[in-house]
């Protein structure tokens, strides 16, 4: 069975699913979803956590403590290096953790990461002692620059945030996995269905981070459970070494030694 530990920055986690905490209908639904998914970490945005709504405020902060799941703060909404660095430093004080999901957006419509500023911000934060998980594109060269900056894991997107489109550039993601075989790669953004999560795990990706696909579904608790099962199934399938696709049919049942055969008498 191929279920080697999921390790990021020398810390091992029991799950390969990471779950966002935004846009759930109520804090109780969020609590139930986290309980069934049992994620490795939950992501929280310092900039958006105080924006109001049922999943924010004092009840939200109390819930974070109650769930006792490692928190991964993120810099969602940041559009400059200084803004991202300052937000990360504030998040470290608030959540008492050196972990940070580094988001630095370069386009308001697609919410595509600005990979140039991302590398600069990553260097600053790593020098400051942060364990940086950068939200990036599937571009191999940009990913290599992030690794050169000191990042030990990457979070490439499957599609733009919140779209639920699934994998848009299959070739690029497969190449990225192939060319960076020793780097933990977590698919972040764009997945909409558990089958899509299982697919990327079957390709050898190390984990999946979700928010919209769960929180905005008709039943977030059931969807969280479905994604957790899909991530585990995909990883098991990857380790089981799937058969290679082939164009020509091949019988799965052997014919040698059959007890019966065709006869002219029948």
Question: Annotation-wise, does 57 bind a ligand?
Answer: no
In this prediction, residue 266 carries a pLDDT of 52
Using CA atoms, how far apart are residues 237 and 235, in angstroms rounded to an integer? 5
Question: Annotation-wise, does 106 bind a ligand?
Answer: no
Question: Annotation-wise, does 7 bind a ligand?
Answer: no
Using CA atoms, how far apart are residues 93 and 248, in angstroms rounded to an integer? 60
In this prediction, residue 205 carries a pLDDT of 97
Domain ranges of the chain: 12-240
- Determine the topology of domain 12-240 in CATH: TIM Barrel (3.20.20)
* pLDDT tens across the length of the chain (266 residues): 445 789 999 999 999 999 999 999 999 999 999 999 999 999 998 765 543 444 456 778 888 888 889 999 999 989 999 999 999 999 999 999 999 999 999 988 888 999 999 999 999 999 999 999 999 999 999 999 999 999 999 999 999 999 999 999 999 999 999 999 999 999 999 999 999 999 999 999 999 999 999 999 999 999 999 999 999 999 999 998 888 887 778 777 666 666 655 555 55
Question: Annotation-wise, does 35 bind a ligand?
Answer: no
Q: What is the three-class DSSP state of 138? A: coil
Residue with tokens 């998040």: 91
Taking the CA atoms of 243, 246, 251 and 257 in sequence, report the sign of the dihedral they define: negative
Phi, psi of 198 (to 5 degrees): -60, -40
Taken as a whole, the chain contains a residue count of: 266
Distance of CA 54 to the CA centre of its chain: 25
Q: Are the C-beta atoms of 143 and 156 separated by less than 8 Å?
A: yes
Q: What's the alpha-carbon Rg for the chain, to the nearest Å?
A: 21
Question: Annotation-wise, does 162 bind a ligand?
Answer: yes
Task: Output the CA torsion 240→245→248→252 (10° steps).
Answer: 20
| Active-site annotation holds for 101 | yes
Tokens of 250: 């091949």
C-beta neighbour count of 14 within 10 angstroms: 9
Using CA atoms, how far apart are residues 206 and 235, in angstroms rounded to an integer? 8
**Half-sphere exposure for 265 (CA within 13 Å, toward CB):** 1
Using CA atoms, how far apart are residues 122 and 134, in angstroms rounded to an integer? 7
């Amino acid at each position: 069975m191929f279920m080697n530990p999921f390790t990021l920055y020398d810390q091992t986690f029991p799950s390969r699913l990471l779950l966002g905490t935004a846009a759930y209908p109520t804090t109780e639904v969020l609590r139930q979803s986290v309980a069934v998914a049992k994620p490795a970490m939950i992501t929280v945005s310092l900039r958006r956590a105080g924006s109001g709504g049922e999943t924010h405020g004092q009840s939200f902060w109390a819930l974070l403590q109650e769930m006792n799941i490692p928190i991964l703060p993120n810099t969602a909404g940041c559009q400059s290096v200084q803004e991202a660095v300052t937000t990360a430093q504030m998040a470290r004080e608030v959540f008492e953790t050196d972990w940070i999901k580094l988001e630095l957006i370069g386009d308001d419509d697609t919410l595509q990461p600005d990979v140039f500023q991302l590398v600069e911000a990553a260097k600053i934060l790593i020098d400051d002692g942060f364990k940086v998980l950068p939200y990036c594109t599937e571009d191999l060269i940009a990913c290599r620059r992030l690794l050169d900056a000191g990042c030990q894991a990457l979070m490439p997107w499957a599609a733009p945030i919140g779209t639920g489109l699934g994998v848009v550039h299959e070739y690029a993601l497969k190449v990225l996995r192939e060319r960076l075989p020793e780097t933990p790669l977590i698919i972040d953004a764009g997945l909409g269905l558990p089958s899509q999560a299982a697919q990327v795990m079957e390709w050898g990706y190390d984990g999946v981070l979700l928010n919209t696909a769960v929180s905005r579904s008709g039943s977030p608790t059931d969807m969280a459970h479905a994604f957790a099962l899909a991530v585990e199934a995909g990883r098991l399938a990857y380790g089981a070494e799937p058969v290679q696709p082939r164009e020509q049919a091949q019988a799965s049942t052997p014919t040698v030694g059959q007890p019966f055969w065709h006869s002219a008498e029948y």
